[in-house]
Structure 1
């Protein structure tokens, strides 16, 4: 059965609608970044760039790092954009776009998110690299799909709901584990922990400026959660959907974040370009080996 034009949306050139990419434009190792300007920053480490496209907040380049083909794609902020990026990249490699039919042989991709976050533990200073063993999704995106969950993930979700005294008026949370293979490949020298993915920057991360929070102890309930001898380490806005959708589609994913803020010491690092460049180079070098 072919996918209808309104379901699998393509542009006038026959490429996937939002990203503007087609077969041959994307590598099997893909770096995801939030900020579209960070795409070119990663690209400065490539010896050559073979493809480049920009549409809305979605910027894409493909090239090689020390001979290894890699792509870099910006998602923008939030899991709603991750939903677009993951589905569209998968469609490009696993659907015949011309005939609008799913391919018999599937390609499994590696997604590595390089982002920024806020630390949840007092001993994690701004400038620390955090790698996400698990992601707690407060966003609800995965709940619209038939996502497979392991017994470990189901038990973790039940434990989190009980620990956090989860409210009925909030999105039902979910928990997904990142790729063990990619985490082992990248984690040396990084803080390993549980990442909470929020569906906003202010209230959903326990920040209140002029509107009072409906759950004042929300951030503390997240911070004190522990599972699999792993503590909650950070808050950000993309990883849960990345883990859930990549797993459901047969891909592997991991997130490495640079902590810009500590939500308990109230420290903040506004100028982080040098530390981000170091994280990018570290990830590229470890992916190369």
Structure 2
């Protein structure tokens, strides 16, 4: 048992899906996994373990933002021996050709967070995906005829920015979309030498202003989950 996760030793699998929303964790467990049980309810951040095609998989909510996500990632890795972590989350499109429900796999994660400033003084650390997980995800998507986009994403500290046009600078440098956790996940995974990947579904567009509902974000992103589970 760790500070924020109440699981006993052996209750969490070595491979974990990480949705930000704990209710999405519940939906994933109930929809995709067999023989599931809930191992965590601390602070309402639900965690479940079950099996997918005979393989043990866990699903742990992380909350929103890098600080919250890092708490759970750190404890999963250091207290429970997790080796593979895949974030499955929503993102806002920065590009006109990336539409609602499109799948984006984060090869790298830029950030407005100061998470690495104290580690790398006067330098920029570039958190990247694990190549093996990235390759498996892209290969599965191709075989399953699932279109994906892959590239640099932005992990932002602020959901509501003062300047609604600020995204355009990132877009001009090829950043595909914005979310709030991938850079933290990739950094902590690199630090502890485990594997990490972020697979994202576009829930809204800063270009067209189109958006999905809260219920849709919770329960209709099944393609992303399919890719993630088959990657693991």
TM-score, normalised via structure 1 length: 0.71
Compute the RMSD of aligned alpha carbons.
2.1
Question: Is residue 36–residue 57 contact of structure 1 (8 Å, CA) maintained in 2?
Answer: yes
Alignment of 1:157-236 (within 5 A): 157=124, 174-187=125-138, 188=141, 189-203=147-161, 208=162, 213=163, 218-225=166-173, 231-236=174-179
Aligned mate of 1:128, from 96, 102, 119: 102
Question: Greater CA radius of gyration, 1 or 2?
Answer: 1
Q: C-alpha deviations, 1:192-237, integer Å up to 9, x for none?
A: 011100001011xxxx4xxxx3xx7531111111xxxxx3100010
CA deviations over 1:79-137 (Å, ceiling 9, x no partner) = 001121121112213xxxxxxxxxxxxx5611001000001001111110110000012
> Could you tell me which of 161, 180, 190 is aligned with 1:247?
190
Rounded to whole Å, the distance in 1 between the matches of 2:2 and 2:69 is: 15
SS at match of 1:235: strand
| Contact preservation (8 Å) 1:141, 1:241 | yes
Once residues 90 and 32 of structure 1 are traced to their aligned partners in structure 2, the CA distance between those partners, rounded to angstroms, is: 13
Distance 1:145 1:74 in 2: 27
The 2-side partners of 1:48 and 1:145 are apart by 42
Does the Cα contact within 8 Å between 2:27 and 2:218 map onto a contact in 1? no
CA contact (8 A) 2:48 2:58 kept: yes
TM-score, normalised to structure 2's length?
0.87
Out of 69, 72, 80, the residue aligned to residue 59 of structure 2 is 72
Tell me what 1:3 maps to.
none
Gaps of 5+ in 2: 142-146
